[in-house]
Copies of this chain bind each other. A is one copy, B any other.
Amino acid sequence: MSWNTFGRVLRFTTWGESHGPALGAVVDGCPPRIALSEADIQPYLDARKPGQNRFTTQRQEADLVRILSGTFEGQTTGTPISLMIENTDQRSKDYSEIAKAYRPGHADYAYDAKYGIRDYRGGGRSSARETAARVAAGAVARLVIPEVKITAYVCEIGGDAIDRNAIDYAEIGNNPFFCPDASAAKRWEEMVDTARKAGSSLGAVVECVAEGVPAGWGAPVYAKLDSDLASGMMSINAVKGVEIGDGFEAARLTGEQNADPMRPAEPGSNEGKPRFTANHAGGIAGGISTGQPVVCRVAFKPTSSILTPVDSITADGEATQVRTKGRHDPCVGIRGTPVVEAMMALVLADHKLLHRAQVG
């Protein structure tokens, strides 16, 4: 089946293929009387946009968003917000090769096995271009949670991790990798360049921190805040793993090491909320936010499109080999960073509204 809607109260539906005329999102359930114009959305699309430097795909897309409904005189009205992004660089290249052979690691074979038909141009619906639509939706979601500050960054490329003591959010915008550690960014430049020139690709890990989330968001037990984050993040193209807080590392700790002690609020600070002296849990306990920063980590596999020929089969079941010459991202995790931020915003905004539905 096809299931292109996400969220429970703040719901968004995306549509569109890589090489169709356009793609878009319909955001439903957004509170009314929020100032919203294209200018609130465009910067996030620009951050995700391809072709901005040599480390990403050279496809040229303006990714200009247009609001087709749901606002009046610059404010949301509470009705569905339709966002559309036209595809402009559907290069009229020859797709006959992809049409016939399954690209290993891509969704080609799976889509054919499922639907018996497949828009093979650029991956069709399975293309990461879909994420432009959710980045647009995410920009709307951000306006629903002005109290929250979301920051995502690449913390690892090809196994080379940042120095956690060197994290400086101000650095994130200073390099083409969304890297908060200037010296890691330097190393990655060479790594990604080498991979790019060799027609190879690299995996990456993206970390996302949401500050300002109050205690109490989350819907146990099947819409836990972490469950919904896991679902949202895993739905991003090329993602193979999701961690909350210490994640898999927590499985290697003892109970003592993993404890998040609590202390009373200091006088006059923090509105009487408890002070945690550690955050192994990543800001979520029992599926509900604790008031600490919500921390999530997402693993992106290396792009499957590589120059080295890989064994494959044709749609007719004949042996063949596939090598990808065209434009593509040597490390999809990089441009995945704004997408991770968007999903964090969408999940949190949904849970803010869910929380006030039940608790007021």
Contacts and interface: CB of A to CB of B under 8 A. Distances in A.
Contact of A274 (B109, B111, B245): B109
Nearest to A31: B358
B16 A68 contact: yes
Best-buried of A102, A115, A218 by chain B (most CB within 10 Å) = A115
B158 A274 contact: no
Contacts of A281: 105, 240, 301
A166 to B, nearest CB: 20
Interface string A188-232: 000000010000111111000000001111111111101111111
Contact of A255 (B29, B201, B251): B201
Contacts of A17: 69-70, 72, 79
A109 to B, nearest CB: 6
Given A234-B226, A242-B230, A310 B1 contact: no
A338 B105 CA distance: 30
A76 B1 CA distance: 13
B243 A241 contact: yes
A172 B194 CA distance: 45
A4 B219 CA distance: 8
B222 A253 contact: no
A248 B251 contact: no
B110 A288 contact: yes
A256 to B, nearest CB: 5
A280 to B, nearest CB: 8
A52 interface: no
A233 B231 CA distance: 10
Contacts of A1: 9, 29, 78, 219, 223, 354-355, 357-359
Interface stretch (A56-64, A174-182, A313-321): A313-321
Given A16-B82, A80-B15, A251-B301, A256 B200 contact: yes
- How many copies of this chain sit in the oligomeric assembly? 4
A310 B259 contact: yes
Contact of A288 (B69, B107, B223): B107
Interface stretch (A20-28, A39-47, A145-153): A20-28
A313 B264 CA distance: 6
A299 B242 CA distance: 10
22 contacts: A1-B223, A1-B354, A2-B358, A5-B11, A5-B222, A9-B354, A33-B115, A78-B117, A110-B285, A202-B255, A222-B235, A227-B231, A240-B243, A240-B245, A240-B246, A241-B242, A243-B299, A254-B306, A258-B302, A261-B310, A262-B313, A356-B356
Contacts of A203: 250-254, 258
A308 interface: yes
Contact of A227 (B33, B234, B248, B261): B234
B254 A302 contact: yes
A130 B82 CA distance: 14
Contact of A308 (B205, B237, B256, B280): B256
Contact of A254 (B158, B214, B252): B158
A194 B110 CA distance: 47
Contact of A104 (B110, B214, B262, B355): B262
Given A215-B113, A221-B235, A244-B241, A317 B14 contact: no
A93 interface: no
Nearest to A206: B251
Contacts of A216: 110, 113-114
